[in-house]
Structure formats: structure tokens, C-alpha cells
Amino acid sequence: MKTLAQRVKYAREQRSWTQSHLAAAAGLSQGTIGNIESGARQARGSLPQIAEALGVEHKWLSQGIGNPWKTRELPVAYLVGTPGSNVQAISRIRLRLHRGSAQVSVDPDESDTSPIALSKVWLEARQLDARRLMAFRLDMAGMEPSLHEGDTLIISAAHVEPQDGCVFAVNYEGELVFRRLVRDGGLWWMYADHTDQARFPRKTFDDRATLIGRVVHKLSDHI
């Protein structure tokens, strides 16, 4: 990343921020951020504000020297360490559905009571409320190669509105499934990512289905 434009865009995208989000955090206009990222403007006087908003070192942002992150780590999820000032504990749970009802019971996962520790920087960058997150171990097929049995999924119960292209935990007629929602032909559809579409056909997302939460991260041994 030889240019200022590349560095600003990289750091912004690592936080999953839009240009508008960064502009608001830095107290600048979206146009200013857009001009910097396009290379049309250097805006050196604004760099301290941008660096502070992104949580990166000013020297790296302005000159490309050194480590970018003030915390000396990328703003990503991680599993190492005891939950403390820099990490947030997410409980492992099991989901229990009730046939004929949209009700979902959330029970502790007795097979593994150790919490998942997620970086608070990562959570903040994605605007996720840790109080509404659940860690769920996938024990069903249908979403390969995106998700595999044994993967641990982080589910946000705060996100229960359909979003095109996103994967959700779904109560479908009393059965727990994980499906990707796609908007097509004016309708919402639930897709399994599995290559065997005859075994896992797409289904309309209608009143038979209730969204439990959106999958916002996965922890997997599958490379």
C-alpha cells in the first residue's frame, strides 16, 4: 500500500465501514473521504482525525511506515485469552424450537461451557451488540461449502430482518435450518449453499419461516 488513498481505504474496509461511517467518526464530510480514497486530495491536515477514528497509527497512515494498528493487532475476532478489557465473552448455546410455534428456546451448551472471546474492536467495527450474540456449534448439513458441521457460528439475534445474500438461522415449520436469503423476482428465497440442490432445494421465505438471527462470523477448521 504505497499511497495514502490505499491505506485509508484498507483501514476503513478492515472495520467494515462505509465512507460515510468514517466521515462521521472523523468529523469530516463524505466527499473529503471519497476524494482522499480516489487520490484526488491528500488532505494532510485531516489525517490525525482519520487516524484516530480508524484506530491506526498516524505515521503509518501518512507515510506507510510501521504497524498500522494501535493495538498491534488487526480488528478481527479471536479466541485467545481470558475475557477482559479488550475482549467480550460470548456464551455457547443450543437452540430448541417448538413445532407449530415461532418460539425459540435458548439453552446453554452443556457439552462445552467455555465462552468464545471476541475482540471488542472487531465488535465495534461491525456495530454488533455483544448482548445479542450467541455462539452455536453447527450440527447439520446443507450449507457446504460455506458452512460445515462442527463450525461454530456467531449469530446476532438483533438482526432478524431479511438481508439479501446473508445467512440466517431460521425456524422453518419448527425445524432449525441455516439458509442464505436471496431477493429474486420480487420474492425472498431461502437457499442452501450445498451443490446438491435436488436434496436441498430453494424454498420461499414466507409465513412458514421465522428468522432467529443472522450469522455474522464463523469459526472453522475447514480451510
Give residue-wise pLDDT tens across range 81-124.
444 557 788 889 999 887 666 678 889 888 888 788 888 878 88
The hierarchical CATH code for the domain 87-219 is: 2.10.109.10
Listed in sequence order, the residues at least 6 apart from 53 whose beta carbon sits closer than 8 Å to its beta carbon are 22, 25, 26
Give the pLDDT score at 135: 93
Q: Where are the domains of the chain?
A: 4-63, 87-219
Higher per-residue confidence, 18 vs 177 = 177
Q: Tell me the CATH class for 4-63.
A: mainly alpha
Give the pLDDT score at 181: 94
Distance CA 59, CA 7 (A): 11
pLDDT per residue over 123-149, tens digit each?
A: 887 888 999 999 999 999 999 999 999
pLDDT per residue over 56-87, tens digit each?
A: 888 888 888 887 766 544 444 544 444 455 77
Give the pLDDT score at 83: 45
